[in-house]
């Protein structure tokens, strides 16, 4: 789970924007079997969310997230990254919804979702459950006027991903303003200008936005927030504003074999911010996640205990062209 952006002051009602992965304390039901039925049978009982199917989906999304982080790190020159693998996976899955044969196969394999039964139905269910809390997900399809798209694709896009098609006017300035205004609205003003210009000869534009405005379950005392230092590596530090607590109620553990600490900061919802901290300052994200036991993560967290905690106030703006990254992933 990644801390992606924070704005304003983290004071009595601290806020954060995160990419969230849920932990479910369900037991696998006896006799649960995965169906190979697809979207045409979405209403069939075989497409209902079960423990086994949710685990397949979660495993595929996590593997895709790690692959994505690895490739972006190789491509990006920035030392800090902000990514929402869930948002990217939803957009690619919607593309797969309209694809067929080898194109669909390659898309699903790149996301490690080829074995997930009733994939689009499952993703639609996941999105609905996530948005029952403080997470906002939005998707929109912009089409060039006169560009014909199969009605089935439009129907399924709205059914599973709640994506409504919108026809572009043909006036690039007006269309650009319309798209940027939509992104600004669904992200509560966090992304005021998404596009600087429309790609030439645009016939279809699929947008996906994700936003979370959440509050810490255990607040930090504002009187302890103050200047401190943040380690960039073994030699360099930078001054930052740091939230601090001496007896913060926290669930955390140490992975001795990998020399990393993992802590879970719950929000006032069914989501948490999970911090994965290497004790070696020079390790990058790919190195940390290479052998990380993410499948067992939910069961590794112990009961909360009073803990001395420091968290820096962070604001990051990040932009990356993903075309090359995604093509390298398959």
Interval 44-74: pLDDT, tens:
458 888 888 998 999 999 999 988 988 888 8
Residues of the chain with pLDDT under 50: 1-22, 24-44
37 and 118 in contact (C-beta within 8 Å)?
yes
Q: Which helix (H) or strand (E) holds 45?
A: none
What are the CA-CA distances from residue 57 to residues 199, 287, 310 (Å)?
A: 33, 24, 34
**pLDDT of 73-104, one tens digit each?**
888 777 788 889 999 999 999 999 999 889 99
What are the CA-CA distances from residue 92 to residues 95, 192, 316 (Å)?
A: 5, 24, 25
**What's the pTM?**
0.80
Largest Cα span, the chain: 62
256: helix, strand or coil: coil
Q: Apex CA 37: angle with CA 33 and CA 38, to 5°?
A: 130
Pick from 268, 264, 276: nearest CA to 216: 268
Distance in angstroms (rounded) separating the CA atoms of residues 44 and 47 = 6
Within 8 A by CB and 6+ apart from 218, the residues are 248, 249, 250, 265, 266
Sheet holding 2-5, edge to edge: 2-5, 15-19, 214-215
User: Bridge-partner residues for 143, per DSSP?
Assistant: 167, 204
As a whole number of Å, the CA-based R_g of the chain is 21
86 and 19 in contact (C-beta within 8 Å)?
yes
Position 6 scores a pLDDT of: 32
Pairing mode, strands 214-215 and 15-19: antiparallel
Q: Which stretches of 27-113 are DSSP H helices? A: 51-75, 85-97, 101-110
**Exposed e or buried b per residue across 269-294, where buried means at least 16 C-beta atoms within 10 angstroms of its C-beta:** bbbbbbbbebeeeebebebbbeebeb
Give me the residue label for tokens 């948005």. 131
Residue 137 C-alpha from the chain's centroid: 10
Residue 180, number of CB atoms within 10 A of its CB: 16
Count of all residues that appear for the chain in the document: 330
Position 245 scores a pLDDT of: 95
Distance in angstroms (rounded) separating the CA atoms of residues 289 and 63 = 10
Position 243 scores a pLDDT of: 94
Position 13 scores a pLDDT of: 33
Which tokens go with 181? 């205004």
What are the CA-CA distances from residue 221 to residues 200, 216, 218, 246, 310 (Å)?
A: 51, 12, 9, 10, 12
Query: Domains of the chain by range and CATH?
Result: 2-23+36-215+319-328 (3.30.497.10), 222-312 (2.30.39.10)
Residue 213 C-alpha from the chain's centroid: 14
């Amino acid at each position: 789970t990644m801390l992606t952006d924070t704005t304003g002051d983290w004071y009595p009602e601290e806020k954060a924007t995160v990419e969230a992965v849920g932990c479910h304390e369900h037991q696998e039901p006896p006799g649960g079997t995965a169906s190979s039925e697809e979207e045409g049978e979405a209403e069939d009982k075989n497409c209902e969310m079960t423990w086994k199917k949710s685990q397949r989906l979660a495993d595929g999304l996590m593997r895709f997230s790690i692959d994505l982080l690895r490739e972006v790190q190789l491509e990006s020159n920035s030392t800090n990254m902000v990514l929402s693998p869930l948002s990217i996976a939803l957009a690619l899955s919607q593309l797969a919804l309209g694809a067929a044969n080898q194109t669909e196969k390659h898309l699903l394999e790149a996301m490690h979702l080829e074995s997930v039964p009733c994939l689009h139905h499952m993703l639609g269910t996941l999105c609905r459950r996530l948005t029952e809390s403080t997470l906002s997900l939005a998707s929109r399809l912009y089409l060039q006027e006169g560009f014909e798209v199969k009605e089935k694709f439009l129907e399924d896009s709205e059914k599973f991903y709640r994506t409504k098609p919108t026809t572009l006017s043909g006036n690039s300035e007006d269309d650009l303003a319309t798209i940027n205004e939509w992104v600004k609205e669904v992200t509560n003003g966090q992304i005021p200008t998404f596009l600087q210009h429309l790609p030439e000869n645009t016939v279809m534009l699929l947008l996906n936005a994700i936003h979370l405005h959440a509050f810490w379950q255990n607040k930090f005392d504002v009187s302890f927030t103050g200047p401190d230092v943040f380690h960039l590596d073994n030699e360099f530090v930078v001054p930052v504003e740091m939230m601090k607590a001496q007896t913060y109620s926290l669930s955390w553990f140490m992975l001795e074999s990998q020399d990393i600490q993992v802590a879970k900061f719950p929000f006032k919802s069914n989501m948490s911010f999970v911090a994965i901290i290497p004790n070696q300052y020079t390790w990058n994200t790919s190195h940390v996640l290479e052998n990380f036991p993410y499948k067992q993560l939910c069961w590794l967290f112990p009961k909360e205990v009073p803990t001395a905690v420091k968290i820096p106030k962070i604001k990051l703006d990040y932009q990356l062209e993903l075309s090359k990254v995604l093509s390298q992933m398959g």
